[in-house]
Chains A and B, each alone.
Chain A
Amino acid sequence: MVHVTIVEPVTVIATESLSKRFPRVTALDRLSVDVGPGVTGLVGANGAGKSTLIKILLGLSPASEGRAEVLGLDVATKGAAIRERVGYMPEHDCLPPDVSATEFVVHMARMSGLPPTAARERTADTLRHVGLYEERYRPIGGYSTGMKQRVKLAQALVHDPQLVFLDEPTNGLDPVGRDEMLGLIRRIHTDFGISVLVTSHLLGELERTCDHVVIIDGGKLLRSSSTTDFTQTTTTIAVEVTDTDEHPDGTRAMREALHARGVSVEAGSGLPGAGHILLLTAQGEETYDLVRDLVADLGLGLVRMEQRRHHISEVFTSEDEQRKEAAVHGG
């Protein structure tokens, strides 16, 4: 008996100096990036080349230069095979108003090659998983934006793809709808085992959802790393201590003690309880030990010591500024 082990591919998307030039604009400029399984965020301002990249990866638009592979298949020659294994949720509205969600998704499942019975079963399953119940028999025209987004997501998932491209799935949603959509995107990977490439121009929402973030700007790769990399390499520790009789201003005593040990400290301005919180950059495990020892030596009470995770947006901004500076200095 032959056992076939299906090994998850190490990279689901790989591009190699991929360029796309239009007569007047360069949409992608020698983009080389590898994307592994999991949820990957593709971040960039409007017009950064996100949608162009998705079109090329679906094998619908030939690249001007370079090559790309999706699930190990070359986009230039294996477009149809890729599109059979991949789902796509467009950014814009794409639903006819006069049919029900069920009819529409069944039709789309058949367009993906599912036999009629399987198309019906998968449609019922998928609509339930994205959170559409009784309303799925009503015409789509009467749905709220959130429900329409769910139908769009369902049609991308109905054929059980190995990878889905979600183009700005949170667009136009209110904060609650946005959170629900992000939760759903997370589940697509954790519960359904489908890898996700999700685009957004909002960095904050990707931090919570994605394992990996790729930032492109002007068609160029700005940065590609895991979300934990983004937030851990620059960990800031927030420390708050109590005052004692010996040290009437405990915060000040702590700051001086840290200064004496060569740790740079800044007051947590702009944060709640600002004056009482010290922010220090963690150099590693020893910083935590140092804080513990100093607090004990001074006989202060430690109210809190917590990680202040940097937001991806801060990283993005600083990267962007660095790049601009480099351009200025270089030029």
Chain B
Amino acid sequence: MAVEQPMPTAPGDQTRIHNIGYRNYDGPRLGRSYATRSLYSQSLRGAYGLGRSIKSKVLPMLLFVVMCVPAAIMVAVAVATKAKDLPVDYTRYAIIMQAVISLYVASQAPQSVSRDLRFKTVPLYFSRPIETADYVRAKFAALASALFILTAAPLIVLYVGALLAKLDFADQTKGFGQGLVSVALLSLLFAGIGLVIASVTPRRGFGIAAVIAVLTISYGAVSTLQAIADAQGSSSAVPWIGLFSPVTLIDGVQSAFLGASSAFPGAVGPTHAEGVVYVLVVLGLIAAAYGLLLRRYKKVGL
């Protein structure tokens, strides 16, 4: 076996490390679906200010905390007083906290889409493999997921708390599941409405104001009308009026099918037949929002 001679290092060899010439890229190109997923995760992170300036983290994080604190307090009270049930149903929680949710949609929907329009970044996306539909889907899914995190987190707090307080396991799990379905629907609906409004204006301020107006004013108007209808004894009109605001829509769906007690005046929710209409309207609105977004971005193009 030959003794290995140490190779003399050529003086020029070290300079190779510093070679900063152009290198071609031969690695994988993962294409459309990967790009869509990247856009989704970037937008989802962005909805909580991650990967953005500290200033843009403040509001979403604050709203997240505001959403969870009441749940934590309720759990603490339930555990301390050894209550037989949680003070609030899983399905009811999001309805109570709707102002916080609306504020979150109003602040983050424009963040997600208005920025790309305002700074004309959209053409850079569409000069890449992704298509209009991929962009819309990624943005829609990202905001809906962000909303689901916001609305499902307090439910998890409640559920864990309920189990710690040794409440009835089967009962709590059923309620928790119903709550999750309800907030999933709510997340899709609110995300759709928020994005459609925000995608029309490149100005963030307008977007925020418009989303708040649509979500809260419609709720205010609808519940006022419902109260009047109820007071005048025409309670059969109450469920039909409820079709006209996003919050009451979700309320109607869950009181018809998800065992929730209705927040409608007189606590009379829609019947099963009426509930079917509610479900159809919710699904229709989500589909319409998606369709409108597609149309909007077909136009924006380059």
The range of chain A's interface size is: 35 or more
Interface status of B34 (Cβ within 8 A of chain A): yes
Q: Please, how many angstroms separate the alpha-carbon atoms of A95 and B302 in the complex?
A: 14
Q: Please, how many angstroms separate the alpha-carbon atoms of A84 and B127 in the complex?
A: 9
Q: Which of chain A's residues has its CB closest to B25's CB?
A: A160
Is B125 a contact of A111 with CB atoms below 8 Å? yes
Is B25 a contact of A88 with CB atoms below 8 Å? no
Counting chain B CB atoms within 10 Å of each CB, the highest count among A61, A80, A86, A192 belongs to A80
Q: Which of chain B's residues has its CB closest to A128's CB?
A: B20
Q: Hey, which chain B residues are within 8 Å of A81, CB to CB?
A: 129
Q: Which of chain B's residues has its CB closest to A116's CB?
A: B38
Q: Helix, strand, loop or mixed for chain B's interface?
A: loop
Interface string of A91-117 (1 = CB under 8 A from B): 011111111000100011011111100
- A58-B302, A84-B31, A159-B29 known; A92+B120 contact, CB < 8 A: yes
Q: Hey, which chain A residues are within 8 Å of B39, CB to CB?
A: 111
Counting chain B CB atoms within 10 Å of each CB, the highest count among A51, A93, A115 belongs to A115
Q: Hey, which chain A residues are within 8 Å of B8, CB to CB?
A: none
Is B119 a contact of A97 with CB atoms below 8 Å? yes
Q: Please, how many angstroms separate the alpha-carbon atoms of A115 and B28 in the complex?
A: 7
Is A112 a contact of B25 with CB atoms below 8 Å? no
- A96-B115, A112-B35 known; A83+B128 contact, CB < 8 A: yes
With beta carbons under 8 angstroms apart, the residue of A111, A118, A139, A193 that contacts B130 is A111
Interface status of A223 (Cβ within 8 A of chain B): no
Is B31 a contact of A113 with CB atoms below 8 Å? yes
Interface status of B89 (Cβ within 8 A of chain A): no
Q: Please, how many angstroms separate the alpha-carbon atoms of A92 and B126 in the complex?
A: 15
Interface status of A178 (Cβ within 8 A of chain B): no
State which residues 107-126 of B face A: CB under 8 Å.
115-116, 119-121, 123-126
Interface status of A125 (Cβ within 8 A of chain B): yes
Interface status of A227 (Cβ within 8 A of chain B): no
Interface status of B234 (Cβ within 8 A of chain A): no
Is B131 a contact of A129 with CB atoms below 8 Å? no
Interface status of B166 (Cβ within 8 A of chain A): no
Is B129 a contact of A83 with CB atoms below 8 Å? yes
With beta carbons under 8 angstroms apart, the residue of B29, B53, B301 that contacts A113 is B29
Chain A nearest CB from B279 CB (Å) reads 36
Interface status of A186 (Cβ within 8 A of chain B): no
Is B123 a contact of A90 with CB atoms below 8 Å? yes
Is B30 a contact of A113 with CB atoms below 8 Å? yes
Is A115 a contact of B123 with CB atoms below 8 Å? no
Interface status of B81 (Cβ within 8 A of chain A): no
State which residues 134-177 of B face A: CB under 8 Å.
none
Q: Which of chain B's residues has its CB closest to A93's CB?
A: B120
Q: Which of chain A's residues has its CB closest to B20's CB?
A: A128
Q: Please, how many angstroms separate the alpha-carbon atoms of A87 and B51 in the complex?
A: 25
With beta carbons under 8 angstroms apart, the residue of B29, B119, B127 that contacts A88 is B127
Q: Which of chain B's residues has its CB closest to A140's CB?
A: B119
Is A84 a contact of B29 with CB atoms below 8 Å? yes
Interface status of B42 (Cβ within 8 A of chain A): yes
Q: Hey, which chain A residues are within 8 Å of B31, CB to CB?
A: 80, 84, 113
Interface status of A134 (Cβ within 8 A of chain B): no
Q: Hey, which chain A residues are within 8 Å of B127, CB to CB?
A: 58, 60, 83, 86-88, 90
Q: Please, how many angstroms separate the alpha-carbon atoms of A81 and B29 in the complex?
A: 11
Q: Hey, which chain B residues are within 8 Å of A99, CB to CB?
A: 51-52
Is A94 a contact of B120 with CB atoms below 8 Å? yes
Q: Which of chain B's residues has its CB closest to A161's CB?
A: B25
Is B35 a contact of A110 with CB atoms below 8 Å? yes
Is B35 a contact of A111 with CB atoms below 8 Å? yes
Is B32 a contact of A80 with CB atoms below 8 Å? yes
Is B29 a contact of A114 with CB atoms below 8 Å? yes
With beta carbons under 8 angstroms apart, the residue of A84, A92, A110, A114 that contacts B27 is A114
With beta carbons under 8 angstroms apart, the residue of A95, A114, A139, A160 that contacts B119 is A95
Q: Hey, which chain A residues are within 8 Å of B124, CB to CB?
A: 88, 90, 94, 108, 111, 155
Q: Which of chain A's residues has its CB closest to B132's CB?
A: A60
Interface status of A191 (Cβ within 8 A of chain B): yes
With beta carbons under 8 angstroms apart, the residue of B24, B30, B34, B116 that contacts A160 is B24
Is B119 a contact of A94 with CB atoms below 8 Å? yes
Q: Hey, which chain B residues are within 8 Å of A129, CB to CB?
A: 22
Q: Hey, which chain B residues are within 8 Å of A118, CB to CB?
A: 25, 27-28
Interfacial residues, chain B to chain A (CB-CB below 8 A): 20-25, 27-32, 34-35, 38-39, 42, 51-53, 56, 115-116, 119-121, 123-131, 301-302
The 6 closest A-B pairs by CB, nearest first: A160-B25, A88-B127, A113-B29, A110-B38, A192-B22, A113-B30
13 A/B residue pairs, CB under 8 Å, sorted by A: A55-B302, A83-B128, A86-B127, A93-B119, A93-B120, A95-B119, A113-B32, A113-B34, A113-B129, A114-B25, A114-B29, A114-B30, A118-B27
